[in-house]
Amino acid sequence: MCICCSVAIIFLKKLAKTKFAKRPGSKGFQDLTAPTWVITTCRDIQTAIIKARAYNNRSALKLAFGEEYDKLYPGSIYSPPSYNENFSSAEG
């Protein structure tokens, strides 16, 4: 785990204490709700970062290789190609 992740988790835990301190319910319910919120929020942040990195990687490769990129990686993120169509050796 990187240092920035550790700092983010510490920050989210402190934020959760404040956020869930005045919620109605038993202490046990509050003790369960806050960590669940921290885990979900952390996962959502990680997912957003991974998606942004993947998009930026793809854009950088397209800029660097131009038309050759389209030959190497046909299709898009949303409509991946059928590799059986592109590689005839897969059929034989």
List, for residues 29-87, the tens digit of each pLDDT value. 777 888 888 889 888 888 898 889 988 888 888 888 888 887 777 766 666 656 555 55
Indicate the pTM of the whole model: 0.59
Domain extent, residue 48, equals 34-92
pLDDT in the model for residue 10: 85
49 assigned to some structural domain: yes
Question: Is residue 5 situated within a structural domain?
Answer: no
Q: What is the pLDDT of residue 7?
A: 81
In a domain, 19, yes or no: no
In a domain, 56, yes or no: yes
Determine the pLDDT at residue 90: 47
Q: What digits encode the pLDDT tens for the residues 2-41?
A: 566 778 888 888 888 888 877 777 777 777 888 888 889 8
- CA dist 42 and 44 (Å) reads 5
Q: Do the domain assignments include residue 7?
A: no
Q: How many domains does the chain have?
A: 1
